[in-house]
Structures are given as structure tokens and as C-alpha cells.
Structure 1
Amino acid sequence: MKKTGLMLFMLICMFAFPGLGHAAGSTNIYLDGKALNLPKNGEVQNVNGNIMIPIRVVVEELGFNVNWEKVTRTVTIKQADTTLKLVVGEKTATVNGNKMNLLVAPILKSDTTLVPLRFIGEQFGLTVHWDNAAKTAYLVTPGDNNSGGDVDPGNGGTTEPTPPTTPPVTDENLASIGGISFSDNKLMIATDKNVTPNIFKISGPERIVIDIPNTKFADTFSNILDSDKNGYLDVEGYPAVSKIRYSLYSNSPSTIRFVIDLNQAQNYKLTNDNDGLVIIDLNSDSTSSGRKLVVIDAGHGGSDPGAISVTKKKEKDFNLAVTLKVEQLLKKETQFDYVLTRSGDTYPSLKDRVKIAEDMNADIFISIHANAGSATASGVETYYTRKESLALANVMHKYLVASSGLTDRKVRTKSLHVTRETTMPAVLLECGYLSNPKDDAILFTESFQNNVAEGIVKGIKEYLGIQ
């Protein structure tokens, strides 16, 4: 696509958040170093805290073929071989007949359609900068060097480049992304094949973007993606991070994009040893802390619900709820570190869970589950496989019995993948029976989950010899 075509494509595909805005003082817009002529109704707008740019001004400057259908409130824009259609009030646009999801519906202010600066840079590779002091928006199309400074996407540049055009890759050859997790200020992405991520930073607001070409979402993501293959992971308890977003960013090549929304500028370290685990570490000290590392594994997840309770609740939800409560407690601990194999409703494979623990050189591995069996079976069990794990199993089980208040069904040995294939001490905790009406009645209560989470943390600390 020509430079001007790409520019309009970027500007059209996202519109303002609902609500009236106000002009951000006397404003200016520069496109590739050229000041655009702004009519009275062409001021940059501040809409609910978002800096917005009027698309009509840019369209007129670039001279595209634009058609407005008043009855249907549809805008059609054509340039070369690209046709865009969007409707005011609707959250989808079409690009050459293909639907594109919009975060919010287009709006009109007077006779001007407004679009946010953020989306321009985030979705389509345009360098975008808002100078609040000068009330000036700078827009630079790819390949133009008049941005007032060099842009290096791999080293903190402000642009999010469009994935490079490469020969088609068949679906069978794409790497599947099977799970993501954010804990210990690290984003971990599990894949089943070698991948080559492209990672860079954007300002205004601050984000870290990770594009992984030649990838697709595994089937385990099906229940947490919307119809346009977008999803997100809420993040709590980390001052620098507000949310993790992910989507199928491009079909040519098939590219999955992850965006770490930041509350402040943040450095990162990318680790990709072509072993199926991509780690983006946001800790300022990228060297080893020398502290012990604990891996907490919430069993099942995503399209794998685990056991189903007598009241039709899902084991995966219990496992994750307890794990997140454990995480909140572990954040207060300063003498050891921790990592979660999943922090949302995704499904890293059993192999992925082991790989996370092995690649992070974990000291212990704890998998959290709930059991199922006969309606009369009740109580808690702790499983281990290798003899090196017995001491951990005994300590963790002692606290599981005390914190749950359920029947002690003892420490048991069993050949389970996550306790067998890990090389550090590893246990699997069965925190009650979903198939038992009495156990089921308390498993999903806040008080039970909080108690079990506290017991798990106490067990970890005793085993590690931490007061």
C-alpha cells in the first residue's frame, strides 16, 4: 500500500470513545513534517482523556475517494486496491470485505469524525507523538525520517510496525500459542514451536508490544477470545502494569500480538531460547536475585474445565481462584520469588507447565487442584512422584489438612506428568472433592479459598526455611 494509503487506513480503523470532547487549546497537526491546515472544526480534541484527531482534515489533505451514505451513516473510502467501510455507532469496520473489530463505535462531533492517536500507532505502524505542552500532534508514515528523531522498534521506539510481508505459511506449520501467564512481573507465552518475537515500546500512553509472526491461537483459547480473536488478561497488584491484551493482529503472515498496557515507562528483558517459552521480564534488575523460586500451577484452564462439581461448577475456576489468592499473599514475601503457570483462563499444556518450571530453574513446583470421585469421597490429598518430592509433600499436606478442615486422605504417590517430569521437588494438591455435596458447598467460598491459600504459603515458607 502507498504511504498515503497506509496513512488513511490507520486513521480510519479506530474512532473516538463516546462522549463530548473539548479542543485541547490551540492545536496543530503535522503529517510527515508538514503542517496541516486546520479549519475551525478541525481542532485536536480531548475526549474523556483521550487525544483525538479529526479524520476529515487528513482525508482532505490526502485526497482519497470518500463516499458518505447519509441514510445508513456509512463511510466508504477507496484508495488503490483498498476499500474501507465503517458505520457510525457500530463497533466493526470492514477492510476489503473483512471485518475488523473496533474497541468503540465511531462517533460524529458536528460534521467531523474523530479518531484516537493511540490506535494509529498501536495497530498500524504509524509513528505518533502528542506534545502536550505545544498542543501538537506529530504523525509520521513508515519510511519517513522527519519525525524529529530515529525510531528503532527493537529498542524503545514509538512505532508499532506492520508485520513484514512474507510468503504464505500453511496453518499446519504455524506455531500454536497455548497459554499465557503474568506473575512476578513477567509475561510468559507458551508455544509449541520455535518463534521469533518482535518486541518494542510505545509512548503516549506507555506500552510494550510483542508481535509473534507465523503463529495462531491454540484451540484452548477458543472460550476466551471474542469473534474477532481478541482477548485480554487483567493484571492486579503490579503498579507498572494495568492489562495484557492479545489478538490475531495480521493474517499475512498470521501474527499474534500481545500488548502490555503500562501505567509508567518500563524497561524489559526478552528471553527466547527457542524452547517453546517466551518471557518478557519487566523487573528492573534483570539479573538473578539469588532468591528461591516457587512455581504455582493452577490445574486445567481454558477449554479444559477439569472436574465438574455436583452443582455444575468447574474445577479450573476453583484452581485459578486459589492460585490468585496465593499470589496475593506471595507478593508480600520478600525472601523468595514466584511464578504462575497461568494467571487467567488459558490452558498451558502439561509440557508447558513443566517447561516453565525447568526454564525458570524453580526450586519447588506446586500444582493446585480439586478432586472428583464418588459422592461419598471427601477430604484432601497430596500427590508426589519422585522420592525427592516426599519432604515437600509432607510439609504441604500438613498445612492443607489444617487450613481446609477436611478429612485427611494422606500423602500419596502417583505418576502424574507435572510431578514426574519436573526435576525439582513437585507436588499436586487435591483440595477437596467436587463430587461430594458437602465439600462442593464450601470449596467455592471465599473463606475456604483464603484459608487454603494461607496454608499453601505457610507450607512453602516452612519448606524453604523462611520465618
Structure 2
Amino acid sequence: MKKLSFLLLVLLFVLVMPENGHAASGNNKIFLDGKELTAGQSVPVENLNGTVMVPLRMIVQNLGYKVDWNQSAKTVTISQQGKVISLVVGQKTATVDGNEVTLNEAPVLRTDTSLVPIRFISEQFGLKVEWDNKEKTVTITSPPTSADGSSPANNTPSTGGSSSGDGTNAGVTPSGSASNSTKVNGVSFSDNQLLIALSGDSAPKVSVLDGPARIVVDIPNASFSDSFGSGQNLPSDQMNTLDATGYPDVKEIRYSLYSSNPYMVRFVIELNESKDFGYSLSGNDSSSKLAIIDLNSTGGLVAAAGGTGTDVATGPLDRGGKKLVVLDAGHGAKDSGAVGVTGKYEKNFNLAVVLKAEALLKQEANIEVVLTRSDDTFLELKERAAIANNLNADLFISVHANSSPSTAASGTETYYKRDESKAFAAVMHKYLVQATGLSDRGVQYGNFHVIRETKMPAILLEAGYLSNKKDEALLFTEDLQNRVAAAIVSGIKEYLGIS
């Protein structure tokens, strides 16, 4: 377990150094179980796109891991107390005990030394880390050895002062692989709604506090999943905030691994003043749930009074007879989608159209709209489908732009997977072709995950080809995007029979 300690210490170095993580300072001291460590490493720690990367040689010399390097395959294998981690230089997919996980940054080579993500490795092993800012000293303590010779994870959280009173900023240091059956897979805030994607058996507990007014969502027996960092930034201290700019009701939204003994994840919406809100938890399958705090609701659940937590009853939000449509902007963040002939990204086109369609749908009295993403965020395909399924949406539409090896390929297509979606695809395609003015490539069958795994009529739109210079130029005009957004609304209304 000593290996992890050193890695996390390096991360702390990076956070306090003015050069933003390019080299550890020789003035800083690191103590592992009371003994000062010296790295003796010529290759410095690096900060690549916000991810701290540490030389493997540092692990070998100071922490005693078993590390194997396959030169031909550029593969690093790290073994420690039965855990096996395998990473490949240049690849963002790693394996932990045979299970695939996604890295924020791929391992890189610097001369003859491999640099690997420190946070990824540190999350796999338990330890206690303390930082003395005055003395610039890191003290790392390995978990105690039990009577049978094993080293159980240290599950005692290290907490500092909380400025909020709800403990979200308590500074808990996660400490390894204790049992936590529920995973928080993603979070987003848009349209005055906080959406939290979960997998596991635990149900969130929602409370209200005052002084200041806050809505607190506690998820017991839970931790952040490996995929969480793909959609939201998750620093090593497991605490961060969500952007709530433009929402006058909200002062701040923060989240953290609040406790690791027992494990618990906490979300806090700090309000500018007390207000009603609604709460729902959708999905009976433990592999996929969606918790929603809806600040638009007037259901009588008041975020105020009491001073101590007041439990909020759970239940589906009342739509008042409205139809719910989920709009999915394909790709996002690290997944750019297709790249156009002049370098434009498909993800940006998809989002622009979806945001325009959302604005139009909000003007429809009989339709509610939810977006799978409202900014440059990455979601797994299963998470996109889960949002629609958990909300029991009436329709699902995924917006895309196409690409082909042939620069001559051009035109508009609409895809469906299940028979119940074919009629919806035909209606939507009629409006989409009119909006783009491009060649009609027809309604087609497609075995795409998001329209295969959704349980309501679901379609995938391919507005045009970014690999075609004419199509690309057209798709990135405001006029075309507005027309496509309007076409989406027209198709929805005709299919649902809404005038």
C-alpha cells in the first residue's frame, strides 16, 4: 500500500507549486510510515490537461511495487497484494483485475520512462495522507497490518472544517476499496434540474437545511465511479462544484465523497432563498437509476425551516399530462464525433441544434423537454439511454452529423432500430429533409445503442456529412441549425398529435 501514498503525495506537490505541476520541488519532504523518501528520478512529474502524471520508476524505487514493462506492446502491468493494473502507452482504456476503466489521460513515454496518471493508480489502493502547508511536508501512513498479515483498507476519513455547515467541504480523503455497492456515474445541472445518475441498490436521502437554505442529497454506501471523471472534473480530494451560472435561485452546487467510513456521496444545492422543489427517483433496475431535484416544481416540498435535516418524500414528478421528450446531443467533451474537412467538430453541431430545439420546445404548453447534455460533457451511451428510460420519456431523439471516406457523400438520413420507432422516424425525416435541403438518403434501419436500448419511440438523425465540404459549411450556419431545430419540433408535434 506504500506505493499509493507516494503517488498522492506527488499530487499534493503539484497543487501547491506555482509552475502548475511540471516538477516536484526538492525543498518538499515526503515521509512514508515515518521514513523520508527520495525519488532519485530525472523525469519530472507532469500535469497533462489537468491530470497529474508520475514516473513509474518512482514507484519501483520507493514503493516496492511489482512492475512489468512489455516493450513491444508498450504495456505496463502493476501488481500489489493481488490487485493487477494494466495500462498501455497512448491508450485511455486500462484494466483493473480484468475490468475495463477509462483514464482521463493515457500513459506517455518520456525518454525511457513511462508516466502514468497518479489519480487513477491512487484510487486503487488505501492509505492516509496528511499535508503540512507550513512545513511543506507530506506524511503518508499505510493501513495497519491485521493479525492474518493482510493490510485492510484504512476507512477513517480525514476531515477538516466545513464552511457550509452541511459538511460537503469537509475535506474527506478517500481511502481505498471498502465495500460501497452504489456508484455515482454522472451529474448535470440544466433547466433548473439537478440530475444524478446512479447504479446500485442505495436510494438517496434528501433533506432541507436553513441558514443558508440548502437542499442536501446524501447517497449512502456510495462512491464515485471510474467513469464519473469523464463527465465532470473530480479532483484528488473528491470535492468539486457544478456551474450554476444563469440560475438566480442557486448560489452554488457542490458535491463530494463526504465520508469513507461508511462511504457516502453528498450533493448540496445552496439556494439564495428558500423555495419549493420536487424530487423523483426513477428506475427499478439497480444497474441504472436517475435522481432528479427539480427546482421548477411547485409541489410543496420546501427547502427551508427546521435547521436540521428534514426528510423529503420521494415519488415521480407530476407532468400534468404533458409529453416528455428527451433530446440527445451526440458525442461531447473528449469524444468529438466526426471531424469535418475544415476541422469542425460534430459534437458542437449536435449541441447547437439541440439547444435551439430545446428553446423552441419550452414554448410548447403540452411538451416537457430534458437534455442528456447541455454543455460540452461526455456521457456513456448507456447513460444517455438510461436518462430517457428512467424518466419514462415519450420520445427520444439523438442528433448527429455523418462522415464518410468519400468526400462526395452528402445528404440527410434518419435511423430507427425497433418497429415501434419506424413511424416516428418517417414523420421526422419528412421535416428534416425539408429543413436541410440536402439529398434525401431516406429512413434507414440502424443498430445504434441509444435507439436500441431506449424503451420509447427513438430515432437518430444524421443531418448531413461533415466529410463533404458543402454539407459541412451548411451545417455550421445559424440559419440551417435554426431550421433543423424547428423541423425537430414540427416532427414531434405531428407524431404526438399536438397542434
Give the TM bin, normalised by the shorter chain.
0.5 to 0.7
How far the C-alpha of 1:421 sits from its partner, in A, is 2.2
Q: Distance in 2 between matches of 1:255 and 1:94?
A: 30
Work out whether 1:403 is the aligned partner of 2:435: yes
**SS in structure 1 of the partner of residue 487 of structure 2:** helix
Correspondence for 1:441 among 473, 481, 486:
473
The one-character-per-residue Cα deviations of 1:50-101 (angstroms, maximum 9, x if unpaired) are xxxxxxxxxxxxxxxxxxxxxxxxxxxxxxx9977568xxxxx999769xxx
User: Structure 1 residues 414 and 289 mapped into 2: Cα distance closer, same or farther (>3 Å)?
Assistant: same
Q: Could you tell me whether the CA contact under 8 Å between 1:168 and 1:252 is conserved in 2?
A: no
**SS in structure 2 of the partner of residue 268 of structure 1:** strand
Q: Distance in 1 between matches of 2:171 and 2:228?
A: 27
Correspondence for 1:216 among 215, 224, 227:
224
Gaps of at least 5 residues in structure 1 are 1-80, 88-92, 99-122, 129-158
Please list, as runs of the form range in 1=range in 2, the aligned pairs for 1:375-394 lying within 5 A after superposition.
375-394=407-426
Q: Could you tell me whether the CA contact under 8 Å between 1:223 and 1:303 is conserved in 2?
A: no
Q: Could you tell me whether the CA contact under 8 Å between 1:216 and 1:254 is conserved in 2?
A: no
How far the C-alpha of 1:326 sits from its partner, in A, is 1.6
Please list, as runs of the form range in 1=range in 2, the aligned pairs for 1:255-294 lying within 5 A after superposition.
256-272=265-281, 274=286, 275-282=288-295, 283-285=297-299, 286-294=317-325
Greater mean alpha carbon deviation, residues 353-362 or residues 185-194: 185-194
Q: Distance in 2 between matches of 1:391 and 1:316?
A: 27
Q: Could you tell me whether the CA contact under 8 Å between 1:403 and 1:452 is conserved in 2?
A: yes
How far the C-alpha of 1:173 sits from its partner, in A, is 5.6
Supply the RMSD in Å over aligned alpha carbons: 3.8
User: Structure 1 residues 300 and 230 mapped into 2: Cα distance closer, same or farther (>3 Å)?
Assistant: farther
Q: Spell out structure 1 runs of 4+ moving beyond 6 A.
A: 81-84, 93-98, 161-167
Please list, as runs of the form range in 1=range in 2, the aligned pairs for 1:36-435 lying within 5 A after superposition.
124-125=161-162, 159-160=166-167, 170=177, 175-183=182-190, 185-203=192-210, 205-212=212-219, 214-219=222-227, 221-222=229-230, 224-225=232-233, 227=235, 233-235=242-244, 240-241=249-250, 244-247=253-256, 256-272=265-281, 274=286, 275-282=288-295, 283-285=297-299, 286-374=317-405, 375-435=407-467
Matched residue type, 2:384? R
Greater mean alpha carbon deviation, residues 431-440 or residues 275-284: 275-284
**SS in structure 1 of the partner of residue 276 of structure 2:** coil
In structure 2, the partner of 1:108 is none
Q: Could you tell me whether the CA contact under 8 Å between 2:172 and 2:259 is conserved in 1?
A: no
How far the C-alpha of 1:174 sits from its partner, in A, is 6.4
Q: Could you tell me whether the CA contact under 8 Å between 1:179 and 1:347 is conserved in 2?
A: no
User: Structure 1 residues 418 and 172 mapped into 2: Cα distance closer, same or farther (>3 Å)?
Assistant: farther
Q: Distance in 2 between matches of 1:422 and 1:278?
A: 18
How far the C-alpha of 1:363 sits from its partner, in A, is 1.1
Q: Could you tell me whether the CA contact under 8 Å between 2:400 and 2:463 is conserved in 1?
A: yes
Q: Distance in 1 between matches of 2:138 and 2:218?
A: 23
How far the C-alpha of 1:373 sits from its partner, in A, is 1.0
Gaps of at least 5 residues in structure 2 are 1-127, 141-159, 300-316
The one-character-per-residue Cα deviations of 1:330-354 (angstroms, maximum 9, x if unpaired) are 2222112121122233333222222
User: Structure 1 residues 167 and 435 mapped into 2: Cα distance closer, same or farther (>3 Å)?
Assistant: closer
TM-score (structure 2 length as normaliser):
0.56
| Number of aligned residues | 329
The one-character-per-residue Cα deviations of 1:241-299 (angstroms, maximum 9, x if unpaired) are 46644455566666544343544423334333544322223312343422111111121
Matched residue type, 2:294? D
User: Structure 1 residues 161 and 339 mapped into 2: Cα distance closer, same or farther (>3 Å)?
Assistant: closer
Q: Could you tell me whether the CA contact under 8 Å between 2:438 and 2:464 is conserved in 1?
A: yes
**SS in structure 1 of the partner of residue 374 of structure 2:** coil
The one-character-per-residue Cα deviations of 1:98-136 (angstroms, maximum 9, x if unpaired) are 9xxxxxxxxxxxxxxxxxxxxxxxx955676xxxxxxxx
Q: Distance in 2 between matches of 1:254 and 1:439?
A: 51
Q: Percent identity?
A: 48
Matched residue type, 2:492? I
Q: Distance in 2 between matches of 1:187 and 1:95?
A: 39
TM-score (structure 1 length as normaliser):
0.60
Greater mean alpha carbon deviation, residues 359-368 or residues 313-322: 313-322
Q: Could you tell me whether the CA contact under 8 Å between 2:353 and 2:484 is conserved in 1?
A: yes
**SS in structure 2 of the partner of residue 346 of structure 1:** coil
Q: Distance in 2 between matches of 1:426 and 1:239?
A: 34
